[in-house]
Structure formats: C-alpha cells, structure tokens
Chains A and B, each alone.
Chain A
Amino acid sequence: MTDILGLVKSQKLTYEQKVLSLAQAAENTLDVLHIPEKTQYYFEKNAIDNLFEGNAPYRPRYILPDYDKFIKEGSEFLQIEPPKDLDELLNALMILYRHVPSITSFPIYLGNLDKMIAPFLDGYTDEEIKKKLKLFLNYIDRTITDSFCHANLGPEDTRAGRLILEVERELQNAVPNFTFKYDPDITSDEIAELALYTTMFCANPAICNHKLNKDTYTTDYGIASCYNILPIGGGAYTLARVVLPNAAKLAKDVDHFFDTILPECLEALANYMNERIRFLVEESGFFESSFLVKEGLIHKDRFIGMYGIVGLADCTNILMKDEGKRYGHDKEADDLADRIMHTIHEFLSEFPALYSPISNNRFLLHAQVGMDYDIGITAGVRIPIGDEPENMSDHLRHSARFHKLIPTGCSDIFAMETTARNNPSAMLDIVKGAFDLGVKYIAFYEENGDLVRITGYLVKRSEIEKYKKGEQVLQNTTHLGAPNYDNNKLQNRKVRGV
C-alpha cells in the first residue's frame, strides 16, 4: 500500500508531483485486471514487471498526436483556429501539449518540430525566430516537468532545424529530449555535424537511423519518450517487460531456462498486456470520449503493445557463469544471447495481440532501458556500464547485431571526450559506419557536461545533487535519475574518443 499520508506531508515533492502520486495511489486501490496465479508468481519474483503502470488503465501509455493535422485544421474542442503565423503556431502547440495524456500525465511526443515550424518562418530574421523559440522551449522545459518527453528533427536540412539546434545549445534544457532522424541520402553532412556538435554541449539531439526505422509501420513514425519508435496518430497502449536476469535466476540450468522459465514468462507477460489492452479499449471509455480521437488526431487502430526486455547482458552472464564467458566479450556468450533474442522473437511473431492492427496484431519488441529500482540489470541489450569493449568498433558491431530484432526502440549511449567538439565530422563518420552496419539509434554526451543521459532521458547532475540533499527539484525524472546514476555506476561509463 502506498503511504498516502506520507505523500501528502512530503517536503521533497512539489505540489504537482504530489497530485500525480496521489492519483496513482487512488488508481491502485482498484482491482479490475484478471491476473492468473502463475503470472502473479512471476510478478512477485520480478521476472516480469508492469513498470508501475497502474491497476486500471484509463489512457494509453504513449500518445503521438498527428500534429500536422492539428496545424492544418485546428481543434474544435480546444477552440483553436488553424495557426496563420509563428506566434499562433507556437501558442496553439503549447495549448494542445497541455491536453495530451500519457503514463506520466505529460505529453511524451511534441512532434517533428522543425518540419512543423518551417512553413511559418518567412519574413522573420533568425534573431526574431530564436527569441520566439526560446520562449516556447523554456515554457516546455519548465512546465513539462518530466524528461520522458521527446521532440524530433530531420531528416531534411532546414533553417528551422538549424535554429532549433542553435537555441538548444544556448538553453541547456533537460526537456524535451531531441532526436535527429538521420539518413545520409537525405540529411546534409553540415546539419548532421551541427547536430553532433550540439550534442557535445547539451546532450541533445540523439541520432536515429531513419533508413532502418522509417518503415516500421504503414504510417509515419515518431521517436517518443525514452527512444520509442511509434506510429504517428497512435502510440502504445502499454509497455511491460521481462526482466531477463531475474528469470535466469529462477532457472536450474540453461535448458530449464529455455524449456520452462522463459516460455512461461513470455506467455504470462503477453497475456497480462492483452488484459491491460482489453480493459483500456473495452472498458475505460478512453477511445469513446477523448477529443483527440473524435477530432482524428489519434486513431484506435494505430496503437501497439510494447513488449519490453531488459538485462539481456546480465541474463546471459548468469547462464554462462560456470563457463566464465561474458556478454559483449566472448563469442559463446553472444551466441547464447542471440538464441535468447530469437526465442523471444519467435514467440512474439506467433502470439496474438489484442486490438493491434498496425503491428499485424502482434506485440513489438522493445529494449527497455531500466528503472530507478534496477540494480545489476543492464538497459535493454546494452553491454554493462564499465564492461564496455576497449575498442568502440567492437562495441558498435555488437550493438548492430543485437539491435536487429527490436523494432520499437533500442539504443546505445556514448560519453565522449571534450575534444570531440573540435571534430564533429569524426563523430559523423562513426554514426555513418554504425548505421550502415545496422545500429538503429545512438546518443552521445560530453563527459563533463551538466546534462547526462541516464538510460535515455536527460537529467542535470546539479539537480541530482540538490535532490540528494533533500531539496525539491522541478523535474520528476530527477527522482528516477538520482538513484539510477548511482545504481548503474554511470560515472564509470566508458569515455570514447582520443
């Protein structure tokens, strides 16, 4: 049971954080999902995990509204006419963002901002636009107080994109996350280098392999929340995960893992996700009542269930303990990990997911990047922090191999030496090579910067220090980042570049 009085009296939580926590506590007094005993057992062992999504789903976890439609048509419900100039556009977006629900209660997707803004720039000088963008972006940073919020750029080289990058470098905000969709056939080297240069100052934007991700759905895609590749005009009903190392700990040996534990966990979680989707779609009334649905900004048939896995590395290392082989270093370990991935992939390609036509009624695999309470559990399919291969080439080849079977988001993060600022073209070479081999998504930050990527979201080191001293901090994600920074020993992340 949540300590509700504790929430009410907390001096560490802001008012807004209290309200959200109290709402979740209220939701969790309900018991509306049917959960079989076996599933309950695996939840208790934390071999599967519902990521505290709440006991009674009343909105999809992630929503990616069709902002282009909104810009073209306005909104009757919000009483907004289609914007005619830049001020009207930014104002209209600020209003709509306030009304996009999600698991965090904040919008997790803000749109492909450069493309949305580009048609409204004629007649303004760069300085005029930058001033407006700063006000807009600061409003977002100070009111969307949760960094599981994402804006996209690219793949085209636009004036809007360049100006957003320039402004981002000056602002040093943690929200939103930015991702640049990169495709060497479309994106110019100049703007790609500007993006990478920018990331060396403010840990934004991350770079997405547009070529490999663009055909994930029949609709256009966006990158939302913590690197999730999702359909525009839809999103994800739910995300739950198999905690692979905890499953491995329940197995007597490798055969027991593959024959019994893993299949049981996979099935238990898949059924649980269907149960959540069933309640959300059939009982919650969300899709019947939301103005986003009524006005065609989202569609029920564009939502999917994200099937998360976490800790492939640690799971492999547990199963290989007797042989002493390590994920990311030994062929036998990597081959075993590959076998685990294919087992999961095969299961998902057979198992029917409810109400998910956009993914052919299947759940889609996601490399979940971890939670603040994870200890000894490495994000998704990454190599454990501190155990990265000496040569970055080996690291990236490994990433490419394990990104392959994951369609709804997987990523790697690299801390870079400050000198890389002087040579963004070198970083672009690395990105080009990595994407060519099949790496789907890559993020960089500068080793000494205040903004640090935890598992995907950004947190300021200075805010972590404040929070540790018991002070209130603006962003919820600092609460998650502070323990995560320590638990995952992020200060040990291998720094790349010479």
Chain B
Amino acid sequence: MIKAPVRKIIPHSLVDGPGNRTAIFLQGCNIRCAYCHNPETQEMCTESSPTEEIKWMTAEEVFKEVERDIPFIRGITVSGGECTLYPEFLVELFTLGQKAGLSCLIDSNGTIDLSKYPELIEVCSGVMLDVKAWDNEKFNKLTGGNNRNVLKNLKFLSDLDKLEEIRIVCIPDEVDAEDILKGIKSTIGEKISYTNLKLIKFRNHGVIGRLKEAESPSDEYMNYLKELALELGFKKVKIT
C-alpha cells in the first residue's frame, strides 16, 4: 500500500464538514497562501527524511485509527496541506471508509485537476473547495499559484453533485469576494441554491505569511457579503 505523510489525526472534529468527523491532515502543500493559518503543514517531505511531527502511514494504518471512532462519527475528512497531492492514498482510504458506511470528504485548494482522477471521485462523497480569488492575478498574488484548475474543478464537481461546500476566506482588497460570488453563479448556475457556502472571516491567528498582521474584516463587511450571496441565489450561507 502507498504511504502518505500524516501530520495529525483529530478523532472528533466539529469543524471539518457536516456532523462529527475524524479529520486527517496530510503534510505538504503546492501553494503558499499569504494568510495560511497552519503553515507548518506546507513544507513537502520525503519518506527518507523522517521528522517527529510527521508519520508516513498506509491507508490501512490510518483507517485503524479511524475505526476507534466508529460509531461516534458520520464520516472522515482529509485535509492538509493539500491532500489531493496523494490521490492514490485517498482512493485506498476512501474505499475502506465507504465500506464502513462513512462519508468521505476532501478539503482542497482545488489546484489539482480532479477530473484526471475518476477513481478518486468515485469513492469520494464530496469536496470542500476553497475559491481563494476569481481573478488569476489576485490568486497569484495571494498564493503564488494559478487558479485555472480551481475554476475547472468548480464546474466539474458541481456537474457531478460532488461539491460539498465552497469556502471563501474574506479580506477586503486582497480577496475579490464579490467577483468570486458572481463567478460561481455564472459557473454552476442554479446549483448555488443548494450548495453550501461558507464565508470565513480572516483571522491572523497562526499566520506567518505576508498577511500576518492584517486585520479581520468587520462584521458589517461579512454581513454585506452574506446579503450579496443571498441576493445572487445562494440559500445555504454561513459566516464563520
């Protein structure tokens, strides 16, 4: 079995998707967000250079830990870093999860083209997708990466009804939240009415990147975005 670098397993997570879930955090990310709040998971690592914090584990080994939390959980969520950097591992883990009746979610920055991994999409119950910016320049400035695949995944996952949730981290000026909301609507159309939208208020807790001293947006701004989303036709909007 393939091994993946596991940074942390949280047996009972109340914040990684619907219901109570075991959350698995994989090490390594392919972008560098200026507002990343767990930058310790960014660095890629190899099996030959082991560290104390990271354990290379097979899907079976991870699932053994997950099993302890059945029947208290309704599913698992794999996050990161960027967990879609390890698609084969995810396929194996989710296959075990599905067999045990657990819903299996991916928490992703969307920069890996998921249409190339039909096997993964088959066993994955849904993806919680970050849309960090709509304009590619903004995206690049914020993350160092390119958002072409994010937009492609948005459409691809929505068409398959595997878009569990869309997330936007909100910081005025840095993030073109209004454009994101409008862009999502023009991409997935009617489906916004039943797609979960989470508007995340930026907080600089844990941030070491460029935005480490940036201020959180006001509640008024967050409510303004929520109102805008509702006007556009989103129905399931949450501010966190």
Contacts and interface: CB of A to CB of B under 8 A. Distances in A.
Contact of A426 (B20, B68, B240): B20
B12 A419 contact: no
A436 B11 contact: no
B101 to A, nearest CB: 12
A422 B68 contact: no
Q: Which 4 A-B pairs have the closest CB atoms?
A: A433-B72, A429-B20, A426-B20, A433-B71
A391 interface: yes
B69 A426 contact: no
Interface stretch (A21-29, A59-67, A392-400): A392-400
Contact of A393 (B13, B14, B15, B69): B69
Given A393-B72, A429-B73, A423 B14 contact: yes
Contacts of A434: 72
A427 B20 contact: yes
A498 interface: yes
A476 to B, nearest CB: 36
Given A393-B12, A430-B12, A498-B12, A425 B72 contact: no
B238 to A, nearest CB: 8
A490 interface: no
A432 B14 contact: no
Contacts of B11: 391-393
B14 A422 contact: yes
A437 interface: yes
A429 B19 contact: yes
B232 interface: no
Interface in A438-482: none
Which of B14, B19, B21 has the most C-beta atoms of chain A within 10 angstroms of its own C-beta?
B14
B12 A496 contact: yes
Interface bin, chain A? 20 to 34
A417 interface: yes
B18 interface: yes
Main secondary structure of the interface of B (DSSP, over half): loop
B230 interface: no
Given A425-B19, A428-B19, A430-B12, 16 more contacts: A391-B68, A392-B12, A393-B11, A393-B68, A419-B15, A420-B14, A423-B14, A423-B20, A426-B14, A427-B14, A429-B72, A430-B20, A437-B71, A497-B12, A498-B14, A498-B23
A498 B10 contact: yes
Contact of A497 (B14, B19, B73, B240): B14
27 contacts: A391-B11, A391-B68, A391-B69, A393-B12, A393-B69, A393-B72, A394-B68, A419-B15, A422-B15, A423-B14, A423-B15, A423-B19, A425-B18, A425-B20, A426-B14, A429-B19, A429-B20, A430-B12, A430-B72, A432-B71, A433-B71, A433-B73, A436-B71, A437-B71, A497-B12, A498-B13, A498-B23
A251 B15 CA distance: 49
A391 B72 CA distance: 11
Interface residues of B, number: 19
Nearest to B23: A498
A462 to B, nearest CB: 27
Contacts of A417: 14
Contacts of B235: none
Contacts of B138: none
Contacts of B18: 425
A208 to B, nearest CB: 18
B74 interface: yes
